A and B are shown apart, each in its own frame.
Chain A
């Protein structure tokens, strides 16, 4: 551990203690902050609610419910871009939650840009439909279950004396092996979908240029809330692309990475 980090570790709890001592009435634990944010939201004090949720995230607690509630508060305040950013973050952490999915879909319906995604062929679409609502950890468990069972069966084959039993074991291991391979593919897709860098447009309107510099041609314009895939970064510019294959460079300040 480097000395700077050690110092920081010592400092953070001390600072928190000092804060707690100085302002005993102010909620400090994440649970209290969350409760406080929720009651502020219920009373319509949306700015305060958003501040409370942001503070929890500032503690490094990236819980999907915090992102979701923060997104709701931002949505009610009319900050569509921020709302979509946090709905996206919440969905990455908990893709199975129907509330997050619904609100994200509703908020996306209010974006000015409509981007047609290319048609996905059937078998992949079917696998995606199964995989999409699963969290990455759940997908990891599914893969491991298939994988470990296959491994166990493969190990049992040479131990079996009876040729019939051995044949049954070989077929079972083959079937489970195919399952494990599919689960591995699903997990790889999931990891890509969850960790691939994306960014949400935070300005009312942002121009996408042909290169990383103001003097390049404006290729197209995107509006607040549109989700872009980030392909590379150079200086203060992101190379982004849309699902319909449109691609270009956008100033990093106009977007926020998911």
Chain B
């Protein structure tokens, strides 16, 4: 039909004048039928060809008095590229019903395009009294005598809109929940032979997830009766639509082009040619009310799935060894769309190492309902021996038929884990260790055993005991220092006194020695002299006389810087005494006298040298 319209338009323009170029504005009004019954409708098309429709308004239809405007305007546009020139055509279509019988006129209609008013020509329509033969869908026979310009696409699937070819879109439900399946079918009812058909453009379904339902190779044919007419019904398209958001969604109109056989009244034409006609049919847009899923009763861990599902969880074995692989299959299958479902996680398992699952999903149609299946294949490696269990897996979905959420839970699967092949501690054993991971956090538990509750807010550092302990070592140390100082001082005094008395003591001993100076008392005499000498050194140097040897005396004298001749004299004197002690008979009184004098001289010299 469209192709024909283009052809006609081109022919019309060529025949009219050279001035009819695509750049010019061209308006035309036409009806689909010039003779109708009173109950019928007539489609008025106002076609505008113009280079641009930026400033184009729909026609002013207020002058139409003889007809009632049932619907319209429905707008269709066409854009063409011919011989390097573009032309665009816009058609406004109205459905009109006559108000009376007779030859009625659709008056000239004004169109305001780019600031200028254009007028269509008036169109006449002959309206006859209603009758079965006159009313009803226009049969093919009607098409024959109808000459004139091609008809515009009809505004919809009106029963009277074409030569017994109707296009319908229908859905199984007008209200649905988000994610619930809506089955869309596009049906063609025809009374003539359809030679070819096709969608003008690929259908889009904004706001829906669409799954195509495959149609058989040969279209299903069904005979349906509408009123008195028998139609052949073909299903042209089926889609399973899943609303992705709530609110009012629209399934847009779809346009098909249908090529049908035209029955010609001219038998010669019918014999030699196959007269065909291309019709354009459009479905009505369908409005779907989509309800959101109830918020209030939404269970925790709701997966987002809408439909009817089954959950099955299975393990490929119930007994395993440590480090063996255990396959766990989590499967959800049922009617509905699972594409939007989040990953269904097997809970974290402490004593198993869990690998990322292999996820496979498939969809199939059972009848017109989408059935989905999703399988999570987990591989678990038991890490510890003992009676372990794979905990229950839960899956929550929304059942749109019942209008409520449902929750599936699989039973826990016990798995007996035996020790691995090698005994622990054996050579070459490999244990795969894993960290102990916290699964979730909570506060630690309350404290028990209150047997010794007491106020612990008083601190020891504030008590007098602490101050006492801090002061104690200070006081003790000060006491010790005082004591040591006093002791030292006393000690020093005693030494000084002894030193001072050394000379007088020595003199006293020598006097005693002189008194004993007799051959019989020689031993006592020498002992007394030796003692006077050693005791003098002992007193002078504040040491004990008992352990004083010659070497020790030499050391002490050297320390006091006694001159060598004095030291030598001292030692000689002492040695003489020692010698005489062991051989007392050898020394006479004269010898004793000399020894005594020498001792006195030595002591005097020593006293002088030490004092100096």
Contacts and interface: CB of A to CB of B under 8 A. Distances in A.
B434 interface: no
A144 B443 contact: no
Given A65-B447, A69-B446, A93 B456 contact: yes
A60 interface: yes
A31 to B, nearest CB: 5
A interface residue count range (under 10 / 10 to 19 / 20 to 34 / 35 or more):
35 or more
B448 to A, nearest CB: 7
Contact of A38 (B444, B446, B476): B446
B460 interface: yes
Contacts of B464: none
B473 interface: yes
Interface in A129-184: 136-137, 140-141, 144, 147-148, 150-152, 154-155, 158-159
Query: Chain A interface secondary structure, helix, strand, loop or mixed?
Result: helix
A62 B457 contact: yes
B443 A154 contact: no
A62 B456 contact: yes
Contact of A159 (B455, B460, B480): B480
A30 interface: yes
Given A38-B448, A159-B480, A137 B453 contact: no
A164 B484 CA distance: 18
A34 B450 CA distance: 7
A155 B456 CA distance: 35
B461 A148 contact: no
Given A63-B454, A158-B481, A151 B446 contact: no
B492 to A, nearest CB: 15
A62 B466 CA distance: 22
Interface string B421-454: 0000000000000000000011111111011011
A158 B480 CA distance: 8
Interface in A68-88: 68-69, 72-73, 75-76
Contact of A140 (B446, B457, B459): B459
B484 A158 contact: yes
B444 A99 contact: yes
Given A65-B453, A148-B472, A75 B459 contact: no
A103 interface: yes
B474 interface: yes
Given A99-B444, A148-B472, A31 B450 contact: yes
Interface in A95-121: 99, 102-103, 106-107
Nearest to A64: B456
Nearest to B476: A155
B474 A93 contact: no
A151 B454 contact: no
Contacts, number: 96
Given A75-B443, A106-B441, A30 B456 contact: no
A93 B457 contact: yes
- Most chain B beta-carbon contacts within 10 A, residue among A69, A154, A155, A191: A155
A147 B468 CA distance: 12
Contacts of A99: 444-445, 447
A154 B450 contact: no
B461 A102 contact: no
Nearest to A194: B459
Contacts of A60: 455
Contacts of B455: 60-63
Interface in A5-37: 30-31, 34-35
Contacts of B443: 72, 75-76, 102-103, 106-107
B469 interface: yes
B470 A69 contact: no
Contacts of A191: 461
Nearest to A106: B443
Contacts of A31: 450-451, 453
A151 B468 CA distance: 13
Interface in B282-304: none
Given A99-B447, A158-B481, A158-B484, 20 more contacts: A30-B450, A31-B453, A41-B446, A62-B457, A65-B450, A68-B447, A72-B443, A72-B444, A75-B443, A99-B445, A103-B444, A136-B459, A136-B460, A140-B461, A144-B469, A144-B470, A148-B469, A151-B476, A155-B473, A155-B480
Closest CB pairs A-B (n = 8) = A151-B473, A34-B450, A65-B447, A62-B457, A158-B484, A69-B446, A99-B444, A155-B477
Interface of B: 441-448, 450-451, 453-457, 459-461, 466, 469-470, 472-474, 476-477, 480-481, 484
